[in-house]
Amino acid sequence: MKLASLKLASYFSRASLRTKLALVALVLLALPWAGYEYVREMERFLLEGEEQALLATARAVATALHDRPGLMRARPSRDDDLLREAEEELRRLAAERGEAQPEPGAEPAPIIDREEAAAKNETEEIGEILRAVERSTARIWVVTRELRVLALAGSLRREEGGAEETLAQRVLGLLIPRPSEDFDDAIDDDALAAGREISGALQGRPGFRLRNTPDGKAVVISAAHPIWNGDEVAGAVVVEESTNPILSVRSQALERLLVLTLAAFAVAAAVLIWFATRISTRIRQLRDEAETAIDGRGRLAHLVTAQDAGDEIGDLSRSFSAMLAKLSQHHAYLESLASRLSHELRTPIAVVRSSLENLKPAPADARVYIDRAEEGLKRLGTILTRMSEATRLEQGLASFERERFDLAAVVSGCVEGYRLAYPHQAFDLALPQKKSWVQGSPDLAAQLLDKFVANAVDFAAAGRRGEPVRISLSVANGMIELGVENKGPPLPEEMRGKLFESMVSVRGERRGEGTSAEPHLGLGLYIARLIAEFHGGDIHARNLASGEGVAVSATFRSA
Amino acid sequence: MPRRIAIVEDDAAIRANYADALRKHGYEVSAHAARGEAMGAFRTRLPDLAVIDIGLGEEPDGGFTLCRELRALAPSLPILFLTARDSDFDAVSGLRLGADDYLTKDVSLPHLLARISALFRRIDALREPKAAEEVLERGALRLDAKRFAASWKGRPVGLTLTEFWMVHTLAKFPGHVKDREGLMRDANLVVDEGTITSHVKRIRRKFAAVDPAFEQIDTVYGMGYRWKA
């Protein structure tokens, strides 16, 4: 059980924001339940009101019949009792078979009119009184103490509305049953004999009760009020009404509630889903942007998603931006650290150098150490120059003048130079037939090739000696590609993408076998990349297909 | 009478070292640590040459200000910047303010002494116009190694000492490629190759200002520069 709930919780925490909001929206389903409870409350309230109204009617009729012993004294002959009962039975059977209503409710007439000729007048008078207070859906009758019905008016049934039901109404009707007008409205003998309200009224207490119709299809409220003749009860007025009007109000209310809540639920769900989609889209955008905020060169971008929004996502975006800005500052600090360090170290180095030089007229045994110290200083100076080289180039690129030059001429000139500079290394050069015009700076292009070749010669020396370094220039798709290949140890896989970033070097662990005494700070290929980008191109490094060496290449936009 | 050199440098150790070295070579040295103090001393008595650092204590550009004030005080006094700053921007700013040369602190003492004596020679040569000339002529170019004066097609080109030496080295053997290291050695410069490139650029620009058709300095990529024969 606990495991299951944990599983559920972990599933929930993994679900998308939209799914979560949709699940949360299910809480809205409590609304129809609350509405249903409210309707039930209303129904109860209406029933109470109905009871009071019926009781008031009964009281009113009873008031008209108070202290009129003449009216209540009328007695039908005993012989007729059997006949009356037979007739009642027939009527009930007819109703059960669903035949036409024996008593049309529209014209309230006394059902029972089997009085003696002498009593006829009184009965009619009671009928008159009853008709005066008649209500369309109420049935009023007067009973004597002997539970004999003296007069009766009205019907329990309502007139059926003739309107055709629409399909929607019929579907709703299946969900919410409507009260049926097709019920047995016969007066049970039980109702007379066992009715609490009638026996109570005959004992002088007005009262009411709810009872089912004999067929159980409807509920009837009946209220009874005693008729006083002096101090004694002469009979009772019973007013009955079916609860159908209330029930139909209730079912209408339920129908409307169902339709309204369904509509509201649909609208709310749509709005919530739209809202959730929008929020998750914005968050996803923010995430995507945050992921790409640091580009391949380690430059930091500013976030634009939701930066002006006043909500939490805007806050998040702004704090991301603030964080990136801090990171950017730190980054800039690190980038400038090299040049600042080299600048700051120049002064102490100058102190050491000038001190050593002042020592120059020294005894021979001290000279050795002075020379060594100067050698160390020289190397330190080279390191410092290298350190600031990249920064100076970065700053200088913006103001560099561009000119149109033939890259092939620069490359062939440089290669001549390399053959002199690296006498132990062979160079292969492949140039295109045509001139390779490039817009940019020939000095920078030569600097780029210097970096490539210095690396290639280094690694070729670390690998197999005697293999030539291949330098090639080729033109394709408006770009000129300058490639340098060397045999030697391949690039470590994880360094592939980082090679051209600042301060990244693959030499580190190979330091021992390297032949070069030059310090390496991992800035060479970074500078090469800056130069390639200055010329509208890019830079790539890959291992040779044979796996026996490395090829680096830079592209230049052809001009 | 020994020549008097003023050193304005905020770092006490460097100041003392340079002062000692210069004194050993027979110069009289007055050393100052701050701009105000130096300017006060200059108003009382002008030195024969001033070596100035750019960053002076609290003032990052104090040397530039001092150079401007000193130039206003003594239009022909040789001024030499000796600084840790190696950016092109600083070098150009310094030279524009009227300094005669711009050296970074990488420079060795012998180089510095060579520069200083060269500047004094230039001053002396200017003072005695009749003195014998050490002239190098290559076509329209005329270099006076005594005065450190250069002219192109008869019109003077205002080169700094460094630039003069570079042109001199290139023009001495026209047609020969001089690599960057050789240029550095001959011009008594200790800078990286990028700085050589910008020096050459500046030289070309100065000649082009006199003669827009100037194309005498040739870049041989991967090797260096040469003076067209």
- Specify whether B88 is located in the same domain as B156: no
pLDDT of residue A305: 66
pLDDT of residue A77: 47
Please indicate whether, in this complex, the C-beta atoms of A413 and B86 are within 8 angstroms of each other: no
- Residue range B86-112: average pLDDT? 81
**ipTM attached to this prediction:** 0.74
Tell me how far CA of residue B187 lies from CA of A188, B2, B103, B117, in angstroms. Answer: 134, 26, 11, 14
Spatial CA neighbour of A109 closest among A97, A98, A101, A117: A101
CA distance B134 to chain A (A): 31
Is A357's Cβ below 8 Å from some Cβ in B? yes
What does the alpha-carbon distance between residue A531 and residue A130 come to, in Å, rounded to a whole number? Answer: 112
- Specify whether B222 is located in the same domain as B201: yes
For A45-59, A153-167, A271-285, A433-447, which range has the lowest pLDDT when averaged over its residues?
Answer: A153-167
Number of residues that make up chain B? 229
- DSSP output for A148-207: -EEEEE--SPPPPP-PPPPHHHHHHHHHSPPPPS----PPPHHHHHH-HHHHHHHTT--E
Please indicate whether, in this complex, the C-beta atoms of A357 and B110 are within 8 angstroms of each other: yes
* Residue A70 binned pLDDT confidence (cut-offs 50, 70, 90): low
Please state the domain extents for chain A: 18-157+165-256, 312-394, 400-557
B29 pLDDT more than 90: yes
pLDDT of residue A297: 57
Q: Which has the higher per-residue pLDDT, A392 or A486?
A: A486
| Cβ-based contacts under 8 A for chains A and B | 88
Smallest Cβ–Cβ distance between B17 and the set A351, A392, A414 belongs to A351
- Specify whether B25 is located in the same domain as B110: yes
pTM: 0.53
- Which residues on A lie below 8 Å from B197 (Cβ)? 443
The per-residue pLDDT of chain B, averaged, comes to 83
| Torsion, Cα of A264, A270, A275, A281 (10° steps) | 170
What letter would DSSP give residue A400?
Answer: P
Q: What angle do CA B149, B170, A448 make, to 5 degrees?
A: 125
- Specify whether B105 is located in the same domain as B21: yes
- Which residues on A lie below 8 Å from B222 (Cβ)? 410, 413-418, 446, 449-450
Q: Encode burial over A437-466: b for 16+ CB neighbours within 10 A, e otherwise.
A: ebebbbbbbbbbbbbbbbbbbbbbbbbeee
pLDDT of residue B158: 83
Percent of chain B predicted with pLDDT > 70: 93
- Residue range A86-91: average pLDDT? 72
Strand A539-543, strand B155-157: pairing: unpaired
The per-residue pLDDT of chain A, averaged, comes to 77
- Angle between helical axes of A244-291 and A30-65 (0-180°, round to 10): 160
Q: Which has the higher per-residue pLDDT, A192 or A473?
A: A473
The range of the structural domain enclosing residue B119 comes to 4-127
Domain count along chain B:
2
What does the alpha-carbon distance between residue A347 and residue A352 come to, in Å, rounded to a whole number? Answer: 9
What letter would DSSP give residue B132?
Answer: P
* CATH code of residue B170: 1.10.10.10
Last residue of a domain, which of B65, B95, B127? B127
pLDDT of residue B47: 92
φ and ψ at residue B129, rounded to 5 degrees: -65, -20
- Specify whether B145 is located in the same domain as B106: no
What does the alpha-carbon distance between residue A422 and residue A442 come to, in Å, rounded to a whole number? Answer: 22
Rg of chain A, C-alpha, whole Å = 54
- Specify whether B179 is located in the same domain as B68: no
Is A347's Cβ below 8 Å from some Cβ in B? yes
Contact A548, A426 (CB under 8 A): no
Please indicate whether, in this complex, the C-beta atoms of B17 and A354 are within 8 angstroms of each other: yes
What does the alpha-carbon distance between residue A150 and residue A62 come to, in Å, rounded to a whole number? Answer: 13
pLDDT of residue B50: 93
| Torsion, Cα of A461, A467, A468, A473 (10° steps) | -100
B30 pLDDT more than 90: yes
Q: Tell me the pLDDT tens digit for each residue of B173-228.
A: 888 888 777 777 776 665 556 677 778 888 888 888 888 888 888 888 777 888 88
What does the alpha-carbon distance between residue A351 and residue A348 come to, in Å, rounded to a whole number? Answer: 5
Q: Tell me the pLDDT tens digit for each residue of A216-270.
A: 777 888 888 888 887 888 888 888 888 888 888 888 888 888 888 888 888 888 8
Q: Which CATH number fits domain A312-394: 1.10.3470, 1.10.1760, 1.10.357, 1.10.287?
A: 1.10.287
A504 pLDDT more than 60: yes
pLDDT of residue A498: 64
Percent of chain A predicted with pLDDT > 70: 77
CATH code, residues A400-557: 3.30.565.10
pLDDT of residue B180: 75
* Residue A41 binned pLDDT confidence (cut-offs 50, 70, 90): very high
- Specify whether B91 is located in the same domain as B176: no
* CATH code of residue B81: 3.40.50.2300
- Specify whether B111 is located in the same domain as B153: no
| Mutate: best of A340, A357, A371, A482, partner B, most B CBs <10 A | A357
Last residue of a domain, which of B127, B154, B189? B127
Q: Which has the higher per-residue pLDDT, A144 or A465?
A: A144
The DSSP bridge partners found for residue A553 are: A483, A540
Q: Tell me the pLDDT tens digit for each residue of A392-444.
A: 777 777 777 788 888 888 888 888 888 888 888 888 888 888 888 888 888 88
- Specify whether B105 is located in the same domain as B148: no
Spatial CA neighbour of B50 closest among B13, B87, B90, B97: B97
- Specify whether B101 is located in the same domain as B30: yes
For A66-80, A209-223, B13-27, B109-123, which range has the lowest pLDDT when averaged over its residues?
Answer: A66-80
Q: Which two tokens stand for residue A384?
A: 């410092």
CA distance B96 to chain A (A): 18
A515 pLDDT more than 50: no
pLDDT of residue A513: 40
Smallest Cβ–Cβ distance between B109 and the set A343, A354, A392 belongs to A354
- Residue range A314-339: average pLDDT? 80
Smallest Cβ–Cβ distance between B20 and the set A358, A410, A414 belongs to A358
- Residue range A30-55: average pLDDT? 88
Is A469's Cβ below 8 Å from some Cβ in B? no
CA distance A489 to chain B (A): 27
* Residue A111 binned pLDDT confidence (cut-offs 50, 70, 90): very low
Number of residues that make up chain A? 559
pLDDT of residue A514: 41
- Which residues on A lie below 8 Å from B104 (Cβ)? 346
pLDDT of residue A105: 43
The DSSP bridge partners found for residue A258 are: none
- Specify whether B122 is located in the same domain as B22: yes
A167 pLDDT more than 70: yes
* Residue A191 binned pLDDT confidence (cut-offs 50, 70, 90): low
- Specify whether B35 is located in the same domain as B106: yes
Q: Which two tokens stand for residue A205?
A: 């207490």
Last residue of a domain, which of B61, B95, B127? B127
A9 pLDDT more than 70: yes
pLDDT of residue B132: 58
Is A182's Cβ below 8 Å from some Cβ in B? no
